Structure 1
Amino acid sequence: MQMSDQRSFVPDPDNGRLLRDAFGRFATGVTVVTAASDDGCVAITANSFSSVSMEPPLVLWSPALASARYPAFARAEHFAIHVLAADQASLAWEVARNRDALQGLSANAEGVPVLDRCLARFDCSRFALHEAGDHAIVIGRVLRASIGEGEPLAFFGGRQASIRVN
């Protein structure tokens, strides 16, 4: 792609859709983050996940401050991040629509509700929480990790996407 094929802009409130579309050009995996709350399991679908550090082992994700689910995650001392497989797309969308989609799960050693199956799971303790614009950056120290098999669930351009693994 030649630079002339690209559209440049300065982000401002009047062109927020363009910025959102530009962010969407970065293909990401899809996660479901869970925590225990006074009302049971609280879960949120997030594609804002990244590894941060190997020593100590740290990961991050970024929930929206305006989310009705945010206060439960801001209070949580422990949470689990589940990296979803391609065949778990319906789960990702159900959790995105319904805060209470994941009731009755088994719990890890810290009492966090966890999915039985996913490509990877990171059981975390909260390491840091930083407000950053209209989102927060939640950094977790990985206490345990697990790995499963399968093709990844991906998100690109505002839609579910496929990543073929050779």
Structure 2
Amino acid sequence: MDGRELRNCMGHFATGVTVVTCNIDEGTHGLTANSFTSVSLDPPLVLVSVDRKTKAHEFMKNNNFTVNILKEDQQDIAMHFAGRPLEDLPFKWEKGNLCNRLSNSLAYVECEPWAEYDGGDHVLYVGKVNEFKYNDGNPLAYYCGKFSNVITK
């Protein structure tokens, strides 16, 4: 099977864009992820899929994390945490109960580690929701390899 073509096919599913953050000894680490979903309401669980080749894969093992759901005007933040860092940081940190999070996001979900599963070249991290908050606005969307505004409130 052609992996690139499979990725192109999966790209036709529009998703929101998140930055997953966790505290490490050196500070706070974040990664841009669009593979995020709610799993359960009772208990409250969410799932993030993280590539095994990333630093974040090791940082998230048995660690609290926050899923920061980005607004439509936060593409620069997404790019910063996708490996294209900006000198003038396009965000501010906010102290959370479990770990730092991005201020001014559309929503955030703070999680304690619940389970992790083998997902092939990814690891599936399931977190138990400890705290959450959401704000008004439109989400930053990702569709066919590009940021998009196809999803509006």
TM-score, normalization by structure 1: 0.84
Q: Is 1:107–2:66 an aligned residue pair?
A: no
Q: Which residue of 2 aligns with 1:59?
A: 46
Partner SS state of residue 62, structure 1 = strand
| CA distance 1:47–1:147, shift in 2 (3 Å) | same
Partner SS state of residue 53, structure 2 = coil
Alpha-carbon distance in structure 1 between the residues aligned to 2:145 and 2:54: 18
Name the structure where helix makes up a greater proportion of residues. Answer: 1
TM-score, normalization by structure 2: 0.91
- CA RMSD in angstroms comes to 1.9
Q: Which residue of 2 aligns with 1:95?
A: 81
Alpha-carbon distance in structure 1 between the residues aligned to 2:85 and 2:115: 24
- Cα contact 1:48–1:61 (8 A) shared by 2: yes
Alpha-carbon distance in structure 2 between the residues aligned to 1:64 and 1:55: 27
| CA distance 1:130–1:36, shift in 2 (3 Å) | same
Q: Which residue of 2 aligns with 1:34?
A: 21
| CA distance 1:164–1:136, shift in 2 (3 Å) | closer
Name the structure where strand makes up a greater proportion of residues. Answer: 2
Unaligned 5+ segments in structure 1 are 1-11
Letter in 1 for 2:115: A
Alpha-carbon distance in structure 1 between the residues aligned to 2:39 and 2:92: 31
Q: Is 1:18–2:5 an aligned residue pair?
A: yes
- Give the paired residue count: 151
Identity, % of aligned positions: 34
User: Which 4+ stretches in 1 moved above 4 angstroms?
Assistant: 98-104
Letter in 2 for 1:133: G
Alpha-carbon distance in structure 2 between the residues aligned to 1:85 and 1:151: 6
| CA distance 1:135–1:16, shift in 2 (3 Å) | same
Deviation at 1:149, TM superposition (A): 1.2
- Cα contact 1:32–1:83 (8 A) shared by 2: yes
